[in-house]
Amino acid sequence: MSVISARGIVKEYPYGGDSVRALRGVDLEVGPGELVAVVGPSGCGKSSLLNVLAGIDPPTEGRVELLGRDLGALGEGERSRLRLREVGFIFQRFHLLSVLTAAENVEFPMAEAGVPKGERRARARELLEYVGLGHRVGHRPPHLSGGEQQRVAIARALANRPKLVFADEPTGELDRRTGDEIIALFERLNADGTTLVIVTHDTSVAGRTRRVVEMADGVVVRDGRAGG
Amino acid sequence: MSLFFGLALAAALQAPPPGILVERRLAESVPLRVGDTVRVRALASGATPRPFVVEGVFERPADPSRIARNEYEVRFHLPDLEEVLGTRDRVDRFAVVLSPGASPDSAARWIEGLAFGTRAYGSRALADRTSATFRVVSRFHRAIGIVTILASAIFLLCVMIIRVDERKRDMGMLRLVGVSRGTVFRSIVLEAIGITVAGSAAGAGLGIVIAQVVNAYYARYYDTTLRFALVTPRIVVLAALLGLGLGAVAGALAAWRVVNVPPQRLGER
């Protein structure tokens, strides 16, 4: 079973009295355990595709199945619950809550999912250890470096043990060395069985994934599977 | 018989002057002490001043209707007062204290029946007649209060909208990772209620301190026990309830703006 199955995706946004077509018929299948990079220049539709695939934005046309569920048949509440419990998100600008500590940021999605307090404390600590921040659990985001903040964001994305993680320009705010460390972390995560879809324009990130989906003008122009 | 009249005359000549009570403020400003002799005459009568002995000093009850008048009060026995004034059987005003359970209406009717033209009022009716000015002042204060509450509500709403706008990205992130609209909505409303209740508590505390300063100043200025500013438990409870209500409304309006924007657009400037 595919983790993501998208068929004939069209996405239009209203613009003035007209509309702008951001996606012009995208087909994409992502299987379990894949590490996929979606690349392309700015404005090619990468972020629009991520929003549609994650059930954040409904497509104008086409059908998306996420983890075996038809997103078009789910209400907004059900899509939110699906994202909370089975999908992880990593953003370019980390988007950590600055008033919470690293551990509390990781606990937050678990609290929303109803995980008991003791269990989420233990799991948050375990996840921060996993991303190499076991010594920074009590620090707040403003006291962490960019790389450390992104590691906390990765730990938060893994909080509810998702089957799939979306990352939107995860190294965009980081220097090369820190970006490499984050990609290494993604590789480890993928080796542990998590499916990852990374939207990036960083060619070095794309070069370390097993599959590169290249977009231009709202369509997939190349889908380079390993060996393909 | 002549011996009797002689003794009576001598006793009258040696009799101490009659006693009076003077108000504490007067006693302090002259100054007068118990046992002092003072000579008193009515300004209108032109009669020779008569001596009186200060038998006591009393504290005049605090009365807001007399606070601004710089009058001193002296209490005479009624015959002595008639002597000083040079008029008898004439009373402008007098107060009657009723026994517990007595009907003020019956007493008023009885007193009005004693002499033609006499009007008797119960204390409540008299307070109503003499406190018209204070009622106007009270309405004025209420109007100021309402305007203040309205201005505070608008200010609070603006604060909440600004606070929420500053954190739109965070809110968007929460929605993207699957936190429900309801949770985001409730968190904003709870934050607004927290701000307003804390503000109400701080306002009530500040009000209590300011009331004490105002009362201390005017107590000294007017030499009175009257209290000019009061923060009662009812006012504190009202402030807390208003804080709750205004916080809930302002939070709900600010939250409504956020939860109705698609999460991916909350990161846009």
pLDDT single digits (tens) A129-152 = 998 999 999 999 999 999 999 999
Q: Which residue of B has its CA nearest to A77?
A: B180
Question: Which residues of B, range 172-191, sit inside 8 Å of A by Cβ?
Answer: 172-173, 175-181, 183
Question: Residue A189 pLDDT > 70, yes or no?
Answer: yes
Of A132-146, B24-38, B51-65, give the lowest mean pLDDT range: B51-65
Q: Closest approach of chain A CAs to the CA of B148, in angstroms?
A: 32
How many Cβ pairs closer than 8 A exist between chain A and B? 48
Of A33-42, A174-183, B124-133, give the lowest mean pLDDT range: B124-133
* Residue A110 · residue A123 · CB < 8 Å: yes
**Is B178–A81 a contact, with Cβ atoms under 8 angstroms apart?**
yes
Q: Closest approach of chain A CAs to the CA of B169, in angstroms?
A: 7
How much is the mean pLDDT over chain A? 90
Question: Residue B267 pLDDT > 70, yes or no?
Answer: no
Query: Looking at B1-71, which runs of residues are DSSP E strands?
Result: 19-23, 37-40, 50-58
Of A62-71, B75-84, B143-152, B174-183, give the lowest mean pLDDT range: B174-183
Q: Closest approach of chain A CAs to the CA of B161, in angstroms?
A: 18
| Interface membership of A93 toward B (CB under 8 Å) | yes
**Is B176–A89 a contact, with Cβ atoms under 8 angstroms apart?**
yes
Between B199 and B267, where is the model more confident? B199
Q: Closest approach of chain A CAs to the CA of B214, in angstroms?
A: 41
pTM of whole model > 0.80?
Answer: no
pLDDT in tens, B166-207: 878 788 888 888 888 888 899 889 988 888 888 888 988 999
CB < 8 Å to A91, chain B: 173, 176
Question: Residue B2 pLDDT > 60, yes or no?
Answer: no
How much is the average pLDDT of A161-182?
88
Question: Residue B67 pLDDT > 80, yes or no?
Answer: no
Question: Residue B47 pLDDT > 80, yes or no?
Answer: no
pLDDT in tens, A109-134: 999 999 999 999 999 999 999 989 99
**Which amino acid type is present at position B53?**
V
- Provide the CATH number for the domain formed by A4-225 in this structure: 3.40.50.300
Residue A203's pLDDT is 79
**Is B178–A51 a contact, with Cβ atoms under 8 angstroms apart?**
no
Question: Residue B154 pLDDT > 50, yes or no?
Answer: yes
Question: Residue B1 pLDDT > 70, yes or no?
Answer: no
Taking CB atoms within 8 Å and a gap of at least 24, the contacts of A12-20 are A12/A60
Contacts of A45 (CB under 8 A, 6+ apart): A11, A22, A23, A24, A26, A215, A217, A218, A219
| Interface membership of A99 toward B (CB under 8 Å) | no
**Nearest-CA neighbor of A183 among A211, A209, A156, A159?**
A209
Contacts of B60 (CB under 8 A, 6+ apart): B23, B24, B25, B73
Question: Residue B148 pLDDT > 70, yes or no?
Answer: yes
**A109: preceding bond cis by omega (within 30 degrees):** no
How far apart, in whole angstroms, are the C-alpha atoms of residue A53 and residue B143? 57
DSSP A7-23: EEEEEEEEETTEEEEEE
Question: Residue B7 pLDDT > 60, yes or no?
Answer: no
How much is the average pLDDT of A66-91?
91
Contacts of B74 (CB under 8 A, 6+ apart): B20, B21, B22, B23, B26, B40
Residue A98's pLDDT is 87
Question: Residue A159 pLDDT > 90, yes or no?
Answer: yes
Q: Which residue of A has its CA nearest to B172?
A: A95
**Which amino acid type is present at position B80?**
D
**Is B178–A95 a contact, with Cβ atoms under 8 angstroms apart?**
no
ipTM of the shown complex: 0.77
CB < 8 Å to B191, chain A: none
How much is the mean pLDDT over chain B? 85
**Is B180–A112 a contact, with Cβ atoms under 8 angstroms apart?**
yes
* Residue A57 · residue A92 · CB < 8 Å: no
* Residue B91 · residue B41 · CB < 8 Å: no
**Is A83–B178 a contact, with Cβ atoms under 8 angstroms apart?**
yes
CB < 8 Å to A82, chain B: 178
Of A8-12, B74-78, B121-125, give the lowest mean pLDDT range: B121-125
Q: Closest approach of chain A CAs to the CA of B189, in angstroms?
A: 17
CB < 8 Å to B173, chain A: 89, 91, 95
| Interface membership of A82 toward B (CB under 8 Å) | yes
Question: Residue B211 pLDDT > 50, yes or no?
Answer: yes
Q: Closest approach of chain B CAs to the CA of A180, in angstroms?
A: 24
- Per-domain residue ranges of chain A: 4-225
Torsion-angle region of B214 (φ positive above 0: left; ψ -120 to 50: alpha; else: beta): alpha
**Is B175–A77 a contact, with Cβ atoms under 8 angstroms apart?**
no
